[in-house]
A and B are shown apart, each in its own frame.
Chain A
Amino acid sequence: MAEEEKKQGADAWDATQWHVVEKGETLSKISKKYYGDPNLYMKIFEANKDVLKNPDLIKIGQKLRIP
């Protein structure tokens, strides 16, 4: 119970920024949206290496961290 409360408390402070991939999006497009520069897409790829193997292969509905 206490552990659960602790977890909830910690989650409330979670500052991770997320983006859910929509149809037609690429990492470059997402990079442009958040950074203004599509060439910074590797920043997003690096932050999501646990779920992305290739920067050109992202899936609709995938939840990506935006550093």
Chain B
Amino acid sequence: MTAKRFWLPILLVVFGLFVVSCGSGNKEAATAAMKAAQDSWNAAKGEVVKYIPDQAKGVDDAIKGAKENFDKGNFDAALETAKVIPDRVKALAAAASAKKAELAKSWEEMSGGLPKMLEAIKSRLDILSQSKKLPANLDKAKLEGAKGGYEEAAKMWEDAKAAFAGGNLTDALAKGKTVKEKAAAVMTALGMEVPAAAAPAPAPAAAPKG
């Protein structure tokens, strides 16, 4: 009886120390995992947000969830959430890099092709401006509209190039796409043939009836 009284508090203290020790170990592991997760995300976030923004929120949410668990003392849950984040970030970084390469290729094609379209339009407008009579498919209002369309497209192309020079590839491509559409519309109005790369996609065929 005396021995039991003697050993019970000691056992409780030892058990308590064991629990605290285990908890402390999980806390350290969770802290390290969260730091690794945050560091990997900090390194990749810029490109991911820039090129695949819709997928960035998932990582932000996961890091936030890990932090919330950590703050509540749920170190195991924090660890489980945090430890998979670096791999997820690695996959997203690769996807962002692939998207960047794809956009860069599109820009390369566009920046090689659009100036040719603008040049062809300018050449035709210059000659038509010297003409004493317009061709059958063109009237004065249409010609003025085409001139205005060309000016807008040429100005926007300068903006697109500036966006690219400033490192904003997505914006540069969006502007370039608008230039392409405007230039194609002007060429059509002038009775010129639109290059295949800028021709509007054909309308989908109507579904057969019955």
Contacts and interface: CB of A to CB of B under 8 A. Distances in A.
Contacts of B123: 67
Q: Classify chain B's interface size.
A: 20 to 34
Contacts, number: 66
The listed residue with most B CB atoms (<10 A of its CB), out of A12, A13, A32, A40, is A13
Nearest to B108: A9
A36 B138 contact: yes
Interface string A18-34: 10000000000000111
Q: Classify chain A's interface size.
A: 20 to 34
A40 B134 CA distance: 12
A59 B191 CA distance: 24
Contacts of B134: 36
B124 A67 contact: yes
Given A12-B195, A12-B197, A17-B193, A36 B133 contact: yes
Interface stretch (B1-9, B35-43, B44-52, B111-119): B111-119
A10 B195 CA distance: 10
Contacts of A17: 120, 124, 192-193
B109 A14 contact: no
Contacts of A43: 127
Binding site secondary structure of chain A: helix
B205 interface: no
A48 B193 CA distance: 18
Contacts of B133: 36-37
B196 A12 contact: yes
Interface of A: 9-18, 32-37, 39-40, 43, 67
Lowest 7 A-B CB distances belong to which pairs?
Answer: A13-B113, A12-B197, A15-B120, A37-B131, A36-B135, A36-B134, A36-B133
26 contacts: A9-B109, A12-B195, A12-B196, A12-B197, A13-B109, A13-B113, A13-B114, A13-B116, A13-B196, A13-B198, A15-B113, A15-B120, A15-B195, A17-B192, A17-B193, A32-B135, A34-B191, A35-B135, A36-B128, A37-B130, A37-B131, A37-B133, A40-B127, A40-B131, A67-B120, A67-B124
Interface of B: 109, 112-114, 116-117, 119-121, 123-124, 127-128, 130-136, 138, 187, 191-193, 195-198
